[in-house]
Structure 1
């Protein structure tokens, strides 16, 4: 008899697993040999967006009505903003003036004075300066404007008979004399006289409006200057907590640059006006107060303002006396060099440097949009934009490095 443990030939018995680990490995191999289940088909994409588009196409009146409501809303919003444009200009101007006065107040604070007392001193000095301008500068300027308009025909006649004019080429004499004669004839026309009278009337109305606006801007400036730190803290609280240190540092640099730019521009223009007034008095040129005010306005444009006024004032002085005009041109040219290399670096030491092309573009755009105020405000805005680009945009772009393949 054969033993029951014997195995039939041709059917060898597999070796049984000796350990639990071996049994688990065998089960894993069995599972791995089983075929993987086929993936379920993806659900069909929703056709709701397509249906929405088709519904909009099928209902053109509804779409047109909604679009009309949007256009009307934009027109109403635009007209509302246009109606308060003057108020917005007051607010922006007061904010920029407060930023310009803030460095002075902070200087007084660093010397141990409280902020309220520093604001009082700054505003007191500003009020005294405004009263001095109204009393001592404005009346002579108005008087000299009238004298200048009345003296134009006589100045043209004397220029045509002067020795330096007769030494010019005949073609140039003919062209200049024709242009001057046309100017003199235009001035004597009744409509020109009426326009000048209307302009004087408009100037009077503008002065009254400027006084009213001055009180409003002064009140807003006083409020902004006293609450500037609180306004900054409110701005910082709107940002995420991890971004607040960066926002604080950037805001402080922007406000310091704006304040330094505004204050520096006003100081440089005031120095220009004083130099022009002194040169006219020393040389004996007419209209010193008028030319000083014109110099203050034109030299608010950095870099180019002094050169523009130098050309303009030299041409005006040429109608009075060629020798005096030459002396003035040389004297003011010397001051321009001193201003460029000595005065301006000391006054504008905290302001952000702006490329010359951007200075010209900013002055043109600001002057076109808002006149002298636009020129005064456009440059600090451009400096702020450049600072944000240098401190935020450029570092982020530098971090975008293409990984090597």
Structure 2
């Protein structure tokens, strides 16, 4: 290799090393800055500074609104922030920028005063992936050792998620504890059974061998098995369709009879089919057949917009809710009040929301940080974490295999 080529390699390697040091230095500073953020969040949550007179549900919802943090990530930040108050060793290492938020988030799921030093040792020697896997394995072992705790965790893990896909179809996913799940399945099967019996009768008639339509049990069973083998996916699809129909029938029955002892009133006549229309107040007050979305509104910018005429036509015979159930309850608890204000240029009065302290509650449909750059000054980070250097957040790991069995055993010994 000639001299100019060697010089070029040296320059490239030197630049890469310099970039690597800048990256690891910034990562350590970000660790320290994130620690500071979580300490502020914990204090803010403790004093309920996010409540705004009851108009915001939780600190996580406030972070979602004011800081642009996804709700799930915001909930995790609040959880980790409070856990740090109980774990002084992890808290101190995080404050120095030695460990990342990813590692801290994982550790705080299982850390105690007895095992935090052990977890911290592994965090310093391993990667975030190592820590996530270790915590997951340890968590599973712990659940298996304590059946009662496992049952409680199952109860806390219950959820039902639903959304509407691009085709307009509703997708529903449910996760239920064993007893509750069995109850739901039992109800579905009870509705499915008559439909399945009807299908079986049709099948029996189709394979009848005499004028009276009688067929032996053996022939019927053989025919069913033959159809399953021949149709395969068609048979499964038919079963899935039947279950979907059963779920709809259960909901129709509940809405029609107000079952379960709830205060829900039965829907009759035109109200049996409901359309929920979210209408911007300016749309209803504006004249004309077209409506451009509010340029400050980020909530609905990707949605289809209706003309004012269409919105008024859809809502003219409908009942109007100004408040969701949660805020309706807060209104009657005195957390805020509502008054009608006559606005120039509009025929209909506008609504003004007032906090318990008497301040007007402004709309949230505006940019979070007008005129503020997202760039963070390196000098500001250096002042925040003056002791952080390019090696502070780098782990001691050099590629060796992680013995999760030994690591989990060590955690179990410290947890007993």
TM-score, structure 1 normalization: 0.20
Q: Which has the higher helix share?
A: 1
Say which one has the larger Rg. 1
Q: Which has the higher strand share?
A: 2
Q: With CA pairs under 8 Å and 6+ residues apart, which has the higher RCO, 1 or 2?
A: 2
TM-score, structure 2 normalization: 0.20
